[in-house]
Chain A
């Protein structure tokens, strides 16, 4: 298809930036016409950037661009500068977005290209999310159906997931995310019906470990009074700790979750947060101190603990949990089996 067919009035590569500049200093609270013009010009520039735009008309692309802008920019900043919007539009994945929009429009060539280019990606993502090859193959097949859409919209076109690709990230990444979400949904549906033996083992271990946090199962068997006392103390400690974690900032909380609960290394957690490993380490050290202070404050002021009792509890709790970790590591096989069966396991 000729390149200038999608933008007959504007030659490719010579998009009227001068017309764009008149909005650059103005906020988005401009008239509807100006906003529409901004999207229209953005669509024209995106089509010009695409290697193959599959004959998509600018008017078809404008709603997608508008949806992406509103989703990522205007939803959080209604007075965003025009320059910000233009930069955002110009950073969209032109080729991927044109391919998806073309598929959505029923372009068979685009479908062929999509399957040809991304079938390997979808299959790989399905294998990562599934416990076996057969399940992975089923998942991959269902993905294509989900993308195409089994339902028909009011305009007569299939209501597939393709409509939700904004072009912000890569199409391959988006497909992996769709596969993962679909795998989670399928896993939930099946897990509600049948609780596997592995799940039962896992839950038993977790509950046992949780109960054992009262540090009664190690060392010399304590008297029932001491066991009850320790159990209450452990409960207080866990509540205080959970409350302290909840009071952390979102970034700090996410770092703690990524590092301790998701098992990422500091380098990986830092990469997800966009900071260097050293920065993540420093931040984690500060979080330790903050949590320690917050937990101590909660235990002393709300639970009536003395400082000595708090320090001893931390010491005992740490030693006890160290034993727990060792025990959990020995039963790692069960955990691994559980994680292998989980659709959320890391690839």
Chain B
């Protein structure tokens, strides 16, 4: 109803009241005697007073209201009594309709009318929440896998590039893995695009390696990577891209190099003799795969994986196309002081070393290293001949020299 209609009705009622002073029930016919005689028609003094003071029980009050609505005499008396008692000037009594009680509100909240909308909404919210939770958990696992695999690829791609020879001497404090990645990636990009500026690539690599800090603390370090042979620059270096990065466009230089590398790896794989070293590598592969699975299952422990596992992670993370690359990496064998060493990634590993064996980590130049060399000069000779990280088995103990 419009406000003007309300105002009109208000004016009509006011006019009617002023004009007539009361409605048709202006029936001043009966006199006020006492309650016993007139209770059927009018309220007696006791009832009027009780109503004016608000002390009438509810059921009686309903009846009194009905009478007062139609009896102007009693109504005027009640009004005068109420005004005289001061009940009108004081704040009104507790509003019966100010609001429902707690249980009324609760029952209203749980009423079918509300629940018919709330229940589907709650179910939908629960489903969405569960789905979101499951998706996030799955995503976390993917991150662990991606990180491990990208780390693996970083290690794979850490074939000492030429550019690294000039920088590794002064980059001891720098986390090696991202740097290697940048170098190799930038090299790849520059090879593909002809742009020699690696800066824009660095950010991209940083994005693909969100947790490069783990790599910084990883036992695999390129700090002491010696000057690698020129063959370290392999066509497979183009795989330093994270596996989730866009595939290179067909026909590019990079994809061509990848195809060539794969073919070369296949060939080298066929030529590789099934000797003891190969068996050892297979054992290592199996153990590293187990380690990789372990890492996936226990993501927080990734950084705590022991050195050999991390060092050999490239093998575990390699897939079918990358297997040729892994085999080509392991082709390089050297013999120093009567011991056979094969190179895996950036690590020279004694052929007698078993991955299950615990290693003693020794850092080059440290007091411990000097003491070890002093006690065992043979280890010092091996460490000098083989740059970078070396795992050597000496007198029943495995030393990891970094």
Q: Verify if B54 is at the interface (C-beta below 8 Å from A).
A: yes
Interface residues on A, range: 35 or more
Flag if B97 contacts A275 (CB, 8 Å).
yes
Flag if B15 contacts A261 (CB, 8 Å).
no
Q: Given B46, B65, B75, which contacts A165 in the complex, CB threshold below 8 Å? A: B46
Q: Verify if A258 is at the interface (C-beta below 8 Å from B).
A: yes
Flag if A314 contacts B46 (CB, 8 Å).
no
Q: Given A88, A241, A270, A347, which contacts B16 in the complex, CB threshold below 8 Å? A: A241
Flag if B96 contacts A210 (CB, 8 Å).
no
> Can you list, as one digit per residue, whether each of A221-253 has a CB less than 8 Å from chain B (1) or not (0)?
000000000000000011001100100001101
> Can you list, as one digit per residue, whether each of A145-165 has a CB less than 8 Å from chain B (1) or not (0)?
000000000000000010011
> Can you list, as one digit per residue, whether each of A296-307 has a CB less than 8 Å from chain B (1) or not (0)?
000000000000
Flag if A238 contacts B16 (CB, 8 Å).
yes
Q: Given A169, A253, A321, which contacts B12 in the complex, CB threshold below 8 Å? A: A321
Given A173-B85, A274-B93, A289-B6: A178 in contact with B45 (beta carbons within 8 A): yes
Flag if B84 contacts A288 (CB, 8 Å).
no
Q: Verify if B31 is at the interface (C-beta below 8 Å from A).
A: yes
Q: Verify if B10 is at the interface (C-beta below 8 Å from A).
A: yes
Q: Which residues of B from 1 to 59 have beta carbons under 8 Å from A?
A: 1, 5-24, 28, 31-32, 34-36, 44-50, 52-57, 59
Flag if A254 contacts B84 (CB, 8 Å).
no
Flag if A76 contacts B95 (CB, 8 Å).
no
Q: Which residues of B from 202 to 216 have beta carbons under 8 Å from A?
A: none
Flag if A258 contacts B79 (CB, 8 Å).
yes
Flag if A168 contacts B50 (CB, 8 Å).
yes
Given A166-B46, A176-B84: A75 in contact with B60 (beta carbons within 8 A): yes
Give, as a whole number of angstroms, the nearest-CB distance from A76 to chain B: 4
Bound-state CA distance A253–B83 (Å) is 20
- The B contact surface, by secondary structure, is helix
Q: Verify if A139 is at the interface (C-beta below 8 Å from B).
A: no
Q: Given B5, B32, B72, B80, which contacts A292 in the complex, CB threshold below 8 Å? A: B5
Bound-state CA distance A318–B8 (Å) is 5
Give, as a whole number of angstroms, the nearest-CB distance from B93 to chain A: 5
Q: Verify if A52 is at the interface (C-beta below 8 Å from B).
A: no
Flag if B79 contacts A169 (CB, 8 Å).
no
Bound-state CA distance A249–B92 (Å) is 22
Given A181-B45, A242-B23, A277-B92: A261 in contact with B17 (beta carbons within 8 A): yes
Q: Given B1, B18, B76, which contacts A262 in the complex, CB threshold below 8 Å? A: B76
Residue numbers in B under 8 Å from A117 (CB-CB): none
Flag if A324 contacts B19 (CB, 8 Å).
yes
Q: Verify if A134 is at the interface (C-beta below 8 Å from B).
A: no
Flag if A173 contacts B57 (CB, 8 Å).
no
Q: Verify if B82 is at the interface (C-beta below 8 Å from A).
A: yes
Interface residues on B, range: 35 or more
Flag if B15 contacts A177 (CB, 8 Å).
no
Residue numbers in B under 8 Å from A188 (CB-CB): 28, 31
Q: Verify if A209 is at the interface (C-beta below 8 Å from B).
A: yes
Flag if B1 contacts A292 (CB, 8 Å).
yes
Residue numbers in B under 8 Å from A125 (CB-CB): 84
Give, as a whole number of angstroms, the nearest-CB distance from B241 to chain A: 71
Given A261-B17, A275-B96: A318 in contact with B84 (beta carbons within 8 A): no
Q: Verify if B145 is at the interface (C-beta below 8 Å from A).
A: no
Q: Verify if A206 is at the interface (C-beta below 8 Å from B).
A: yes
Bound-state CA distance A267–B53 (Å) is 16
Q: Verify if A346 is at the interface (C-beta below 8 Å from B).
A: yes
Q: Verify if B249 is at the interface (C-beta below 8 Å from A).
A: no
Q: Verify if B124 is at the interface (C-beta below 8 Å from A).
A: no
Give, as a whole number of angstroms, the nearest-CB distance from B61 to chain A: 8
Q: Verify if A101 is at the interface (C-beta below 8 Å from B).
A: no
Bound-state CA distance A207–B82 (Å) is 30
Flag if B95 contacts A261 (CB, 8 Å).
no
Give, as a whole number of angstroms, the nearest-CB distance from B2 to chain A: 10
Q: Verify if B70 is at the interface (C-beta below 8 Å from A).
A: yes
Residue numbers in B under 8 Å from A200 (CB-CB): none
Residue numbers in A under 8 Å from B79 (CB-CB): 258, 262, 264, 272, 346
Q: Given A77, A272, A292, which contacts B9 in the complex, CB threshold below 8 Å? A: A292
Bound-state CA distance A180–B83 (Å) is 13
Q: Verify if A328 is at the interface (C-beta below 8 Å from B).
A: yes
Give, as a whole number of angstroms, the nearest-CB distance from A341 to chain B: 14
Residue numbers in A under 8 Å from B15 (CB-CB): 213, 317-318, 320-322, 324-325
Q: Verify if B87 is at the interface (C-beta below 8 Å from A).
A: yes
Bound-state CA distance A292–B5 (Å) is 8
Given A76-B57, A288-B1: A169 in contact with B19 (beta carbons within 8 A): no
> Can you list, as one digit per residue, whether each of A58-97 has a CB less than 8 Å from chain B (1) or not (0)?
0000000000000111011100000000001001000000
Q: Which residues of B from 67 to 91 have beta carbons under 8 Å from A?
A: 68-70, 72-73, 75-85, 87-88, 90
Interface CB pairs A-B, < 8 A, 26: A72-B50, A72-B60, A76-B60, A166-B46, A170-B85, A181-B45, A184-B31, A206-B19, A213-B15, A242-B24, A250-B65, A257-B23, A257-B72, A264-B79, A272-B52, A274-B95, A279-B98, A289-B9, A291-B9, A314-B12, A315-B8, A318-B15, A319-B11, A324-B18, A325-B11, A328-B19
B positions within 8 Å CB-CB of A: 1, 5-24, 28, 31-32, 34-36, 44-50, 52-57, 59-60, 62-63, 65-66, 68-70, 72-73, 75-85, 87-88, 90, 92-98
A positions within 8 Å CB-CB of B: 71-73, 75-77, 88, 91, 125, 128, 161, 164-166, 168-170, 173-174, 176-178, 180-182, 184-185, 188, 206, 209-210, 212-213, 237-238, 241-242, 245, 250-251, 253-254, 256-258, 260-262, 264, 267-268, 270-277, 279, 285, 288-289, 291-293, 314-315, 317-322, 324-325, 328, 344-347
Q: Closest 7 A-B residue pairs measured CB to CB?
A: A321-B15, A76-B59, A177-B45, A276-B95, A253-B69, A181-B32, A318-B11
4 new A-B contacts, CB < 8 A, other than A241-B16, A321-B18, are A73-B59, A76-B62, A260-B16, A291-B13
